[in-house]
C-alpha cells in the first residue's frame, strides 16, 4: 500500500532514520497479533528469542518511504519477572533496538489493560496507545474522549478496530511523527485529508467522539490531572521512598547505562523485590547496601499500609486508573431499552453448567468430523496420484532399482506421507480453530475445563491444544505456545502428545474396533486418559513452580474476519511446512536405505525380550512399532501386508489380547517423529527426549500389565 508523505519537503529533521523499529505490547487477546498481521501480511518470521524458548514474531513492511521492523511481543499483564514472556518483553522494550512501543489496549477492559500501560510509562520509551475494539464498545453505547486521553498521558492515542483494519496504518503515520519528526499531533488536519483520499472507510478521531444523537443523554464525570507526573505517581510515603532510592542509585558507582532502565523504574522494582533488578546490584558492597535500604523501606511501607508492597503499588495504580476512566468514559443512554442480543443468548448457553459441556462435546465432534472429512478426501486424492506416478516410475526405471527405492520410495514417499498423513489435517484444523478463536468460543471452552485441568497442574487453556491433539499431535504441540509459563507449556505439551491422534485412531478402529467391537475401544480410551491423568499428576509434582490462575478475556461473540483467519492459518502452518517436512523427507530416505541393507531385521531380535516376553506380541511387531515413529498408521499397514503375504486374516495373525496390547502400546508410546521435532522446538531436545522416554516406559508398563494380567486370568 502506497501513500504520499506529507513531509517529503522537510527531510532535514532531527534524528532522521529510514528504518523504524516498533514493538507491539499489550495483554493477551487484545488484538496485537491481528494488528501485526494486518501490517506485515506474509512478511513474517517465527523463531525463539536468543537463548530463550519463548516464541518471537517479527515482520517487515515499507510505508510512506520508511522501512518498519515490527516485533509482536508475547501477551503479558505486567513487567514483572514471573514468567519468561515477561522477562524477554521487558528486556526487549528497554533495549536500543526499539524506537517506539505501540501499546494495544482492549477498549472493553480498560482497567486491566491500563495497568500494563502505567508500567510501560515508567520505562520512558516513546509510545503510542492503540485503543482496539472500539466497535464493540460503541455497540454498548459507550465512547471514549480521546482528546482527554492524549492530554492526560501526553501521548498519541488512536482508536482502532483491528479486525477490520480500521486505524491500523494510522499507527505507522503517528510512529513517523514521533520517531522521525519528534512533534506528534501537529499535522492532524493535514493527515486526515490525506487519509480521506486513501481509505475507503471513515477513520474516526477525536471529532467523532463528540457527535451526539438528539435521543441520547451523555454521562461524563469530571476530574483533572494537572500533569503526567501526577498520573503515574503513588502515595506520599511510597514516593518519598522511591525518590530516596533513586538518589542512591544515581550515585551508584557501577555503570547502569548498559541496562537502559530509568532510575525511578529501578527503585520501584527494588521495592518489589524484582529478582532480575536485584542481580544488577548484588555483585558489590555499594549495590548490596542499596538492596538492604530497599528492604528496610519495603518493610516500613508494609507496616504503614498493613499490606505487601505489590498490593500497595497495584492499589495506587488502580486508583489512578479509576480516576482516568471516570474522566474519559462517555456513556450514551438511549431512550430505547436495550434488548438481549443473539450473542448474549449464545454466550449464556456456551458457559452454562450443563448445556455448556453438551455444546463443548458437540463442538469437539464437529471439529473432529470436519477435519477428517476434509483431510481424508485430500489424502485419498494424493494417495491415488502417488500410485499412478509410482506405476510410471516403476515401469520406466524398474521397481527394484536402488535409486528408485531411495529417492522415490524413501524421499518422495516420505514427503507424500508428511503431506497426506499430517499436513492435510493440520491446515483444516488450524483453520477451524482460528474461526473458533476469532468468534470468541475458545475462551469459553477453557473456562468450562479450568477446574478439571487444575488437578493436572495447568489451567483451562490446555484444553485448546488437547482438542487439536485428536486431529494431529504436531499441530497440538505447536499450539501449546499459548500457555503463559514455561512450566505450564511443558506439562501441556506432555499431556497433548498422549492424546490419540487421527493416525492412532486408524489403528484402534481398524484393529480393535473391527475385530473386537466398540466396547473394547471404550476400554482403550479409558486406559489412555487414565495414563494422561497419571502423567499430569507426576509432572505437577516434579516440575518446580505452581499452576497459575486462568486469566482470559471473554470478548463478545462476533462474525469471524476470514482475511485474518487465512493469514493466521498460514502463519501457524508454515512452521511445519518449512521445518518439520524436510526432516521427514530425510528420515524417509534413511529408513529406506536401512531396509535395502536389511538392517532392521536385527532390531526384531534385539527387541524380542520386550515385544515377545514382556508384551506377548509376535517378534515382527518390533519393526512395525519402530515404523510407527515415522507414521503411526504404518504399524497397521505393515501388519495387513504381513497377513496378506501369509494368506491369513489379522485375527489369525494376532490373538484378541495381542490386538489390545498392540493397539494400547501404539496409543501410549513415543509420538510420531514430527511431533517430537515440534516438541523439541517448543521446549528443548532434553525435555523432548525425557517425555519420549517417559511415554515409552508408560506404554510398556501398561502393555505388560495387561498381558500378564490376562495370562494370570486364563490360568485360574
Domain with residue 279: its CATH number is 1.10.287.1770
From CA 223, how far away is CA 233, in angstroms rounded? 16
From CA 110, how far away is CA 162, in angstroms rounded? 16
* Residue 146 and residue 268 in one domain: no
Sheet containing 329-334: order of strands: 142-144, 329-334, 216-219
Helices and strands counted in the chain (H then E): 35, 10
Provide the domain limits for residue 492: 355-715
Question: Which residues on adjacent β-strands are paired with residue 55?
Answer: 48
Query: Is residue 219 domain-resident?
Result: no
What is the grid cell recorded at 637?
499397514
Predicted confidence at residue 403, as pLDDT, reads 85
From CA 550, how far away is CA 484, in angstroms rounded? 10
Predicted confidence at residue 228, as pLDDT, reads 55
CB count within 10 Å of CB 229 equals 9
Query: Is residue 206 domain-resident?
Result: yes
* Residue 541 and residue 683 in one domain: yes
Inform me whether the pLDDT recorded for 554 exceeds 70.
no
Tens-place pLDDT, residues 158-216: 999 888 888 888 999 999 888 876 654 444 334 443 333 333 333 333 333 334 344 44
Side-chain half-sphere exposure of 321, counting CA atoms within 13 A: 17
Q: Mean pLDDT, the chain, as a whole number?
A: 78
Query: Is residue 218 domain-resident?
Result: no
DSSP characters for 369-408? HHHHHHHHHHHHHHHHHHHHHHHHHHHHH-TT-HHIIIII
Higher pLDDT, 54 or 682: 682
Determine the average pLDDT of the residues in 585-592: 72
From CA 337, how far away is CA 665, in angstroms rounded? 61
Q: How confident is the model at residue 555 (pLDDT cuts 50, 70, 90)?
A: low
Inform me whether the pLDDT recorded for 600 exceeds 70.
no
Inform me whether the pLDDT recorded for 546 exceeds 60.
yes
First-to-last C-alpha distance (Å) of the chain: 79
Predicted confidence at residue 212, as pLDDT, reads 38
What is the grid cell recorded at 698?
508408560
Strand 127-132 and strand 142-144: the pairing is unpaired
Query: Is residue 341 domain-resident?
Result: no
* Residue 260 and residue 395 in one domain: no
Which of 32-46, 136-150, 573-587, 590-604 has the highest mean predicted lDDT (pLDDT)? 136-150
Predicted confidence at residue 199, as pLDDT, reads 39
DSSP characters for 582-621? HHHHHHHHHHHHHHHTTTTHHHHHHHHIIIIIIT---TTH
Higher pLDDT, 181 or 453: 453
Q: Which CATH number goes with the domain that contains 60?
A: 3.40.50.300
Closest CA to 631 of 353, 418, 460: 418
* Residue 143 and residue 270 in one domain: no
Tens-place pLDDT, residues 678-699: 788 777 888 888 888 888 899 9
From CA 368, how far away is CA 167, in angstroms rounded? 37
* Residue 235 and residue 162 in one domain: no
Query: Is residue 496 domain-resident?
Result: yes
Query: Is residue 690 domain-resident?
Result: yes
Inform me whether the pLDDT recorded for 15 exceeds 50.
no
Question: Which residues on adjacent β-strands are paired with residue 331?
Answer: 142, 219
Q: How confident is the model at residue 587 (pLDDT cuts 50, 70, 90)?
A: low
Q: What percent of the chain has pLDDT over 90?
A: 13
Query: Is residue 10 domain-resident?
Result: no
Which of 15-19, 212-216, 701-705 has the highest mean predicted lDDT (pLDDT)? 701-705
Phi, psi of 536 (to 5 degrees): -60, -40
Residues in the chain: 716
Q: Which residue's C-alpha cell is 510505508?
A: 63
Give me the helices (H) in 168-282, please: 168-176, 188-198, 206-209, 228-232, 236-250, 263-271, 275-281
Query: Helix, strand or coil for residue 59?
Result: strand
Return the C-alpha torsion angle 603, 609, 610, 611, nearest 10: 70
From CA 528, how far away is CA 506, in angstroms rounded? 15
Strand 66-72 and strand 55-63: the pairing is antiparallel
* Residue 146 and residue 267 in one domain: no
Closest CA to 639 of 658, 616, 657: 658
Q: Is the dihedral of CA 270, 273, 279, 284 positive or negative?
A: positive
Predicted confidence at residue 638, as pLDDT, reads 65
Predicted confidence at residue 114, as pLDDT, reads 93
Predicted confidence at residue 191, as pLDDT, reads 41
User: Residue 569: which residues within 8 A CB-CB, separation 6 or more?
Assistant: 427, 430, 431, 434
Strand 100-106 and strand 19-25: the pairing is parallel
Q: How confident is the model at residue 701 (pLDDT cuts 50, 70, 90)?
A: very high
What is the grid cell recorded at 359?
455444546
Which of 224-233, 416-425, 691-700 has the highest mean predicted lDDT (pLDDT)? 691-700
Name the domain boundary from 329, 345, 363: 329
Residue 309 contacts residue 272 (beta carbons within 8 Å): yes
* Residue 486 and residue 631 in one domain: yes
Inform me whether the pLDDT recorded for 342 exceeds 80.
no
Query: Helix, strand or coil for residue 560?
Result: coil
10 Å CB burial of residue 690 (0-12, 13-18, 19+) is middle
Residue 473 contacts residue 671 (beta carbons within 8 Å): yes
Inform me whether the pLDDT recorded for 243 exceeds 80.
yes
What is the grid cell recorded at 426?
493440520
What is the grid cell recorded at 685?
531436545
* Residue 112 and residue 195 in one domain: yes
* Residue 196 and residue 284 in one domain: no
10 Å CB burial of residue 696 (0-12, 13-18, 19+) is middle
User: Residue 454: which residues within 8 A CB-CB, separation 6 or more?
Assistant: 547
Determine the average pLDDT of the residues in 390-396: 84
Question: Which residues on adjacent β-strands are paired with residue 19?
Answer: 67
Closest CA to 621 of 671, 665, 670: 665
* Residue 532 and residue 638 in one domain: yes
CB count within 10 Å of CB 429 equals 31
Query: Is residue 343 domain-resident?
Result: no
Inform me whether the pLDDT recorded for 23 exceeds 90.
yes
Predicted confidence at residue 104, as pLDDT, reads 95
Q: Which of 87-101, 125-139, 185-199, 454-468 has the lowest mean pLDDT?
A: 185-199
Residue 273 contacts residue 252 (beta carbons within 8 Å): no
Q: What percent of the chain has pLDDT over 70?
A: 79
Query: Helix, strand or coil for residue 166?
Result: strand
From CA 415, how far away is CA 421, in angstroms rounded? 10
Higher pLDDT, 295 or 284: 295
Q: List, in sequence order, every beta strand (DSSP E) within 26-149.
A: 44-48, 55-63, 66-72, 100-106, 127-132, 142-144
Q: How confident is the model at residue 647 (pLDDT cuts 50, 70, 90)?
A: low
* Residue 483 and residue 410 in one domain: yes
From CA 236, how far away is CA 258, in angstroms rounded? 31
Return the C-alpha torsion angle 339, 343, 347, 350, nearest 10: 130
Q: Nearest 5 degrees, angle CA 124-CA 128-CA 130?
A: 140
- What is the number of structural domains in the chain? 3
* Residue 698 and residue 562 in one domain: yes
Residue 53 contacts residue 486 (beta carbons within 8 Å): yes
Amino acid at each position: 500500500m502506497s501513500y504520499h508523505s506529507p513531509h517529503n519537503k522537510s527531510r532535514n529533521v532531527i534524528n532522521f532514520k529510514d528504518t523504524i523499529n516498533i514493538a507491539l505490547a499489550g495483554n493477551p487477546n487484545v488484538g496485537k497479533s491481528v494488528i501485526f498481521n494486518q501490517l506485515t501480511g506474509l512478511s513474517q518470521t517465527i523463531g525463539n528469542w536468543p537463548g530463550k524458548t519463548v516464541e518471537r514474531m517479527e515482520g517487515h513492511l515499507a510505508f510512506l518511504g520508511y522501512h518498519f521492523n515490527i516485533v509482536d511481543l508475547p501477551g503479558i499483564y505486567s513487567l514483572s519477572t514471573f514468567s519468561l514472556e515477561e522477562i524477554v518483553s521487558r528486556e526487549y522494550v528497554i533495549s536500543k533496538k526499539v524506537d517506539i512501543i505501540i501499546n494495544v489496549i482492549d477498549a472493553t477492559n480498560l482497567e486491566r489493560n491500563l495497568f500494563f500501560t502505567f508500567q510501560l510509562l515508567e520505562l520512558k520509551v516513546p509510545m503510542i496507545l492503540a485503543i482496539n475494539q472500539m466497535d464493540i464498545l460503541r455497540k454498548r453505547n459507550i465512547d471514549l474522549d480521546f482528546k482527554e486521553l492524549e492530554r492526560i498521558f501526553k501521548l498519541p492515542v488512536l482508536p482502532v478496530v483491528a479486525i477490520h483494519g480500521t486505524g491500523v496504518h494510522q499507527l505507522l503515520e503517528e510512529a513517523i511523527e514521533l520517531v522521525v519528526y519528534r512533534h506528534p499531533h501537529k499535522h492532524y488536519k493535514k493527515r486526515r485529508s490525506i487519509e480521506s483520499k486513501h481509505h475507503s472507510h471513515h477513520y474516526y478521531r477525536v471529532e467523532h467522539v463528540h457527535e451526539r444523537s438528539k435521543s441520547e443523554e451523555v454521562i461524563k464525570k469530571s476530574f483533572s490531572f494537572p500533569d503526567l507526573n501526577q498520573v503515574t505517581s503513588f502515595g506520599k510515603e511510597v514516593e518519598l521512598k522511591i525518590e530516596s532510592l533513586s538518589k542512591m542509585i544515581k550515585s551508584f558507582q557501577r555503570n547502569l547505562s548498559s541496562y537502559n532502565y530509568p532510575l525511578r523504574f529501578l527503585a520501584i522494582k527494588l521495592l518489589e523485590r524484582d529478582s532480575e533488578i536485584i542481580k544488577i546490584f548484588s555483585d558489590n558492597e555499594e549495590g548490596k547496601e542499596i538492596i538492604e535500604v530497599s528492604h528496610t523501606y519495603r518493610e516500613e511501607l508494609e507496616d504503614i499500609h498493613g499490606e505487601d508492597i505489590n498490593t500497595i503499588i497495584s492499589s495506587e495504580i488502580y486508583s489512578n486508573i479509576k480516576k482516568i476512566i471516570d474522566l474519559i468514559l462517555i456513556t450514551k443512554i438511549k431512550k430505547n431499552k436495550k434488548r438481549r442480543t443473539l450473542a448474549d443468548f449464545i454466550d449464556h448457553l456456551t458457559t452454562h453448567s450443563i448445556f455448556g459441556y453438551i455444546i463443548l462435546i458437540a463442538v469437539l465432534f464437529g471439529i473432529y468430523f470436519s477435519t477428517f472429512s476434509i483431510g481424508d478426501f485430500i489424502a485419498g486424492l494424493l494417495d491415488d496420484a502417488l500410485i499412478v506416478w509410482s506405476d510410471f516410475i516403476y515401469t520406466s526405471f524398474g521397481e527394484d532399482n536402488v535409486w528408485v527405492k531411495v529417492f522415490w520410495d524413501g524421499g518422495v514417499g516420505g514427503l507424500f506421507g508428511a503431506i497426506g498423513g499430517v499436513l492435510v489435517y493440520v491446515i483444516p484444523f488450524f483453520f477451524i480453530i482460528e474461526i473458533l478463536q476469532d468468534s470468541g468460543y475458545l475462551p469459553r471452552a477453557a473456562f468450562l475445563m479450568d477446574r478439571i485441568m487444575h488437578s493436572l497442574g495447568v489451567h483451562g487453556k490446555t484444553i485448546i491444544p488437547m482438542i487439536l491433539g485428536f486431529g494431529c499431535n504436531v499441530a497440538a504441540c505447536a499450539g501449546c505456545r499459548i500457555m503463559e509459563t514455561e512450566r505450564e507449556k511443558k506439562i501441556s505439551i506432555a499431556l497433548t502428545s498422549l492424546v490419540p491422534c487421527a493416525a492412532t485412531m486408524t489403528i484402534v478402529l481398524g484393529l480393535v474396533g473391527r475385530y473386537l467391537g466398540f466396547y473394547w475401544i471404550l476400554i482403550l480410551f479409558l486406559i489412555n486418559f487414565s495414563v494422561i491423568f497419571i502423567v499430569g499428576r507426576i509432572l505437577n509434582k516434579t516440575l518446580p513452580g505452581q499452576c497459575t490462575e486462568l486469566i482470559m478475556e471473554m470478548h463478545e461473540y462476533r462474525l469471524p474476519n476470514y482475511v485474518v483467519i487465512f493469514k493466521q492459518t498460514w502463519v501457524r502452518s508454515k512452521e511445519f511446512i518449512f521445518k518439520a517436512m524436510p526432516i521427514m523427507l530425510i528420515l524417509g530416505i534413511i529408513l529406506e536405505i536401512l531396509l535395502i541393507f536389511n538392517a532392521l531385521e536385527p532390531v526384531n531380535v534385539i527387541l524380542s525380550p520386550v515385544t515377545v516376553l514382556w508384551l506377548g506380541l509376535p517378534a515382527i511387531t518390533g519393526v512395525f512399532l519402530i515404523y510407527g515413529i515415522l507414521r503411526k498408521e504404518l504399524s497397521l499397514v505393515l501388519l495387513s501386508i504381513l497377513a496378506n503375504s501369509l494368506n491369513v486374516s489379522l485375527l489369525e495373525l494376532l490373538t484378541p489380547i495381542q490386538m489390545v496390547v498392540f493397539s494400547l502400546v501404539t496409543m501410549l508410546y513415543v509420538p510420531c517423529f514430527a511431533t517430537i521435532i515440534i516438541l523439541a522446538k517448543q521446549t528443548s531436545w532434553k525435555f523432548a527426549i525425557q517425555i519420549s522416554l517417559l511415554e515409552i516406559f508408560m506404554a510398556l508398563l501398561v502393555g505388560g500389565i495387561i498381558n500378564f494380567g490376562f495370562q494370570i486370568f486364563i490360568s485360574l
